[in-house]
Amino acid sequence: MNDKQHKVVKSIIMVTQIGISMIVPIFVCAALGVWINRLTGTQICFLIMLFIGVGAAFRNLFIITKSFYSSDMEKEHEKLKYMQELKDYSRKSPENAGEYIEITKKKRYPENKGPTRS
């Protein structure tokens, strides 16, 4: 399995996991709220449990997406750190500022070589 296929499979698994981890807490809490309403004879327990289920679902969503994008965030922080080091270097030695400008242009705006065939 090549890298592109691996990313597609990983994304499909993530979408499925997000769907399940959002639906399950909402339905479980709603069912528990209905059951408590029948025991106590009140109507407010269902709404309270429904809000708890929605909160748990969004908490699960946050945790899952945070772990999925952590490697991308690390790469982005490394790039930002590198750019900051280049800026600091160009401030300390202005005679080499031209090198900094050329490096940043290459990093930010790479040349478009057109479509490639694999």
Domain map of the chain by residue range? 3-68, 74-108
Both tokens of residue 69?
A: 């994008």
Please write the tens of the pLDDT for every residue from 23-60.
Answer: 999 999 999 999 999 999 888 999 999 999 999 999 99
Q: 94-115: per-residue pLDDT in tens?
A: 665 555 556 555 555 555 555 6
CB of 45 within 8 A of CB of 33?
yes
- What residues have CB less than 8 Å from 52, skipping those under 6 apart? 29
Per-chain mean pLDDT for the chain: 80
Distance between CA 24 and CA 27 in Å, rounded? Answer: 5
pTM: 0.57
Return the pLDDT at 46: 92
